[in-house]
Amino acid sequence: MFKSFSVRILFVGAFGESRSKEGHTGGQLFACRSLLASSLGRKYDWLLIDSMASTNKRRLLPERLLKAFLRVVSFVVKLPRADVVLLFSSAGMSFTEKGLMALWAKRLGKSVIFAPRSGLIEEELAIRPGRKRFVARVVRAVDVLLCQSPFWVKFYADIAGGRRAKYVCLPNWIDAGPYIADAQERKKTKEDGRLRVLFLGWITRNKGVFDLVELAAKLGEDAPDFFLAGDGQDLPALRANIAERGLENRIHLLGWIGPEEKIFHLKKADVFILPTYRDGYPNALLEAMASGLACLASETGGIRDMIRHGETGLLVKPGAVEQMAEALRLLMRDAALRKRLGQAAREQVLRENNLSRAVELFEHLFTQLGKDGSS
């Protein structure tokens, strides 16, 4: 029997239809897929446009422009059938593309939910202040700006102003079940008893991976074993830097790992570290917190709202290797502190980052905007 839908959603996001050449998945892919797999997927009619990048490594500009053009054409064709437009955006060209889509949709009288999900836009606007005019225009035009944390609410409100009601805060959501690991089960895998410090993410300078080399060198013989899982454009340079410093026995490059292997390393680790310079609301950190790991991360972007220093993890200034070393030494010698921080982090994720909370908010927004039209 034909099933009718009251609200039709045009959703531009990451669905894996054009899966990364390296088979990578990320937080945005999980966020988009989990919404469609939830009760929302059955309740609404979805028009999907996949904007997932084929790789996180450098791509030729003509290739990027061609794919963006094809997405825009698909968007223009599908837009007249939509009641609500949902746009997930990164920074740079992604924000430009999704921003133009948002402006065009508003011109046709559609309701628009815009979800910027990259911390790199902070640096982008610092380098190119003139770009703030376009960002402000997009933010003012849309009906709802979905922000990942209070930091990002203030960030965009300071740029665009307007009604505070349009700035809706929704932290990233996660299925915490697979990551729950009893801290008592964490075991060392080496007879020398050195702790395992885990990094998950793209191997790029922005993620602070070269600071980890400096950190290991600074700690010297006291350095724990660092396990870096991920891939990216700076992996060859990082590998060369590790070899040049003679740290191959302390820093282990795992490459990109799948879900089961990732959970294995989260369970084996003692500390999770994320020395990123710019970030939105990193899913890798959420995964580590859900696993009950003691986390050490940079005080930047939405991480300021994810970790309460001394309660659910430890924060350091981006690039402050000496401060990072002091914090890591503290975690290395204090097992009770590691356990306390990890337990508090896991409880916070279960409380604030569950999928049901996201589903409830999206259902409210879709119902309101689909019924009332442009607010």
Domain boundaries, given as residue ranges, for the chain: 8-173+354-372, 177-352
Fold: same for 8-173+354-372 and 177-352: yes
d(CA 130, CA 117): 21
The fraction of the chain above a pLDDT of 90, given in percent, is: 76
CB 132: neighbour CB atoms within 10 A?
15
Distance of CA 152 to the CA centre of its chain: 13
* Both structure tokens of 117: 């999900």
d(CA 340, CA 49): 43
155 neighbors 122 (Cβ within 8 angstroms):
yes
CATH number for the domain running over 177-352: 3.40.50.2000
Would you say residue 229 has pLDDT above 70?
yes
Q: Domain 8-173+354-372 sits in which CATH superfamily?
A: Glycogen Phosphorylase B; (3.40.50.2000)
CA 138-143-149 angle, 5° bins: 80
Give per-residue pLDDT as tens, 53-84. 655 555 677 877 888 889 999 999 999 999 99
Give per-residue pLDDT as tens, 103-116. 999 999 999 999 99
Average pLDDT over residues 94-110: 96
Predicted local distance difference test score (pLDDT) of residue 1: 36
d(CA 172, CA 179): 15
CB 313: neighbour CB atoms within 10 A?
28
Q: Find the distance separating the first CA and the last CA of the chain, reported in whole Å.
A: 34
Give per-residue pLDDT as tens, 23-53. 445 678 888 999 999 999 999 999 999 987 6
